[in-house]
Structure 1
Amino acid sequence: MKKILLALALLIAITGNAQQKVIQLYNGTVPGSENWDWNQNESADNVYHSNVVYNVSHPTLTVYLPDSTVANTGVALVICPGGGLQTLSINHEGYDVGKWCQKHGITAFLLEYRLMHTLGPDPYKEMLAKMKANTVLKEQAPVAPLANADGRAAIAYVRAHAAEYGVSPNKIGIVGFSAGGTIAATTAYNYTPQNRPDFVAPIYAYFPPEMQVNVPADAPPMFLAAASDDKSSVYSVELYTTWINSNHLAELHLFLNGAHGFGMKTQHLSSDAWADLFYNWIKQAGFIKP
């Protein structure tokens, strides 16, 4: 019975997502991974029984237009789920964020960026093996620049097609979770006019001090959130401090609890409030007018 319910939930999620427009981020071969030929998959058949996307070799953007019952704010948001560059935690850091945006008049673009190659049917099992062998950072190293490039390309795509989607070209933000938060934070550095984010939101991101150098003079405002019972929350504190010390706008919420990976989960913990705080921050920063 439990397996039937899980399969039904997965089918509903896939059916709901199929109603959204899906865009290939690159035309033709993908720069830097031209020889990647494995097939992308989505499954909950893993050690954690959690629905994930893996083996992304051709990045896509899934578009979530604002609900017809709410006013279009003109704000666009690129969404980067986490998953250690092995998977995408596609539900509570992807689909659910897109649906939240729809209800708040924000046009969302869910980015499925390039990931490490999963050889078997269980990406979580392979990630745990890499963690046990202490090889994760080594195996992530060649893929991280590609995933970061996908984040920049996503912003550039949205800006180039802003009129088509009814968004303002100077109201394009990016939010990311965990490894997706690393991508979001990275876009706040070394950008061009085409791929500069207007605001960034790294949520419990891995972004150590050695990555927090050469902050641009016109760096975008930043919203950060993490839970105190997550050891990686120190990176959010350090990045906030870097932004403030560089005379840029930033807001940090360090919740009492919620652990790593809270996303859009309802846990009846303090971290449940992050999305409402984020929306209020977008308004306070001037991207949503009364």
Structure 2
Amino acid sequence: MKISRKEALMKNTTHTETFLVWPAGVPGGISQGRTEQETIFPPLHIPTPTRLIRNVVEPTLQAYLPDPSRANGTAVVVCPGGCFSFLSIEVEGEEVARWLNERGVAAFVLKYRLAPTPERDEDFMAQFMHIVHDVAGMQAQAPVGISDGQQALKLVRQRASEWGVDPERIGVLGFSAGGAIALAAATQYTAESRPAFAAPIYGPVWQELKVPQDAPPLFIALADDDPSIADGNMPLYNAWKASGHPVELHIYAKGGHGFGMTKQGLPSDRWIEQFADWLVSQGFLE
């Protein structure tokens, strides 16, 4: 099902506001011939069908604001995963945002630019296994998503007063491909885009590990039965620890890849509660 640009930007009862990440225009212009669309994906690694967003050409942020009586000034830019070709918008986006809202945290779900996929759902499904194993394709698309993530942090900081957000308490949380965006945000930033904290969740570690002198606190979570991800995150933890910056690592015995907010009756189910505990320990959740 396609959605128009107008629908993508309109206010509604769930999202406080949806706004453009690049209000002055997307760098390089908007790719023509594609329209953002939604696909209902059948159960694979999660037990129920889920909504995916595809063919994003104009990145947006969906703002979820907590009840003012609960708001604590902390905000999180949430980056769903999807191989830089789609977005797992429910279990790695909207559900995360609502959970954070209940704890007084403002959340901003990022739809970053994606590699093109076939318009017809049937054709997309036929290519799915190729997409999820095409590491070279993901790495080629990653810089665009990373740029959108950096700009999203900058924009939330610029507009922080509108949402009752403390500009010094804006962090980033990302899953899988979104985890790569979160990690890049934690290592490649300006004063305007630096996150106060970062949390890559089962994110790939493709970049050379250079920890900045003023690197933000880092929270890492993944499952041991997701070996390609686990192998890269141990050096990430060690590099952060060696630099003297706060870091916490959770490797769950089971959970697989892409668990997000899905409850599977596995150790990974509690990652977000442990993330909240970590935010408390770092002074971002009261």
TM-score (norm 1): 0.87
The yes-or-no answer on 1:112 pairing with 2:93 is: no
Cα deviation 1:86-113 (Å, max 9, x = unaligned) = 1101110011001101101000000000
Match of 2:92 in 1: 93
TM-fit CA distance, 1:195: 0.3
Give the aligned CA root-mean-square deviation in angstroms: 2.0
Match of 1:203 in 2: 201
Match of 2:79 in 1: 80
User: What amino acid maps onto 2:62 in structure 1?
Assistant: T
Q: What is the aligned residue count?
A: 269
1:43 corresponds, among 39, 45, 59, to 39
Match of 1:67 in 2: 67
TM-fit CA distance, 1:71: 1.6
2:167 corresponds, among 169, 175, 178, to 169
The yes-or-no answer on 1:244 pairing with 2:241 is: yes
Q: Percent identity?
A: 38
Q: Distance in 2 between matches of 1:118 and 1:227?
A: 28
The yes-or-no answer on 1:150 pairing with 2:148 is: yes
TM-fit CA distance, 1:29: 3.3
Cα deviation 1:172-208 (Å, max 9, x = unaligned) = 0000000000000001112100000010000000114
Match of 2:180 in 1: 182
TM-score (norm 2): 0.88
Cα deviation 1:113-160 (Å, max 9, x = unaligned) = 0101012323343232345xx6x2333344211100000001001110
| SS across alignment from 1:277 | helix
C-alpha change, 1:124 and 1:221, in structure 2 (3 Å) is farther
C-alpha change, 1:17 and 1:254, in structure 2 (3 Å) is farther
User: What amino acid maps onto 1:108 in structure 2?
Assistant: A
The yes-or-no answer on 1:31 pairing with 2:59 is: no
User: What amino acid maps onto 2:218 in structure 1?
Assistant: M
Match of 1:11 in 2: none
C-alpha change, 1:130 and 1:21, in structure 2 (3 Å) is closer
Q: Distance in 2 between matches of 1:270 and 1:35?
A: 41
The yes-or-no answer on 1:230 pairing with 2:226 is: yes
Q: Distance in 1 between matches of 2:31 and 2:54?
A: 17
The yes-or-no answer on 1:55 pairing with 2:55 is: yes
Match of 1:9 in 2: none
Q: Distance in 2 between matches of 1:261 and 1:201?
A: 15
Cα deviation 1:188-232 (Å, max 9, x = unaligned) = 112100000010000000114xx1432110000000001111112
Match of 1:103 in 2: 102
Contact 1:41 1:55 in 2 (8 A): yes
| SS across alignment from 2:50 | coil
Shifted more, 117-126 versus 165-174: the winner is 117-126
TM-fit CA distance, 1:239: 1.0
User: What amino acid maps onto 1:258 in structure 2?
Assistant: G
Contact 2:38 2:51 in 1 (8 A): yes
Cα deviation 1:48-96 (Å, max 9, x = unaligned) = 543100000000000000135x521100000000010111011100110
| SS across alignment from 1:188 | helix
Q: Distance in 2 between matches of 1:223 and 1:168?
A: 20
User: What amino acid maps onto 1:53 in structure 2?
Assistant: I
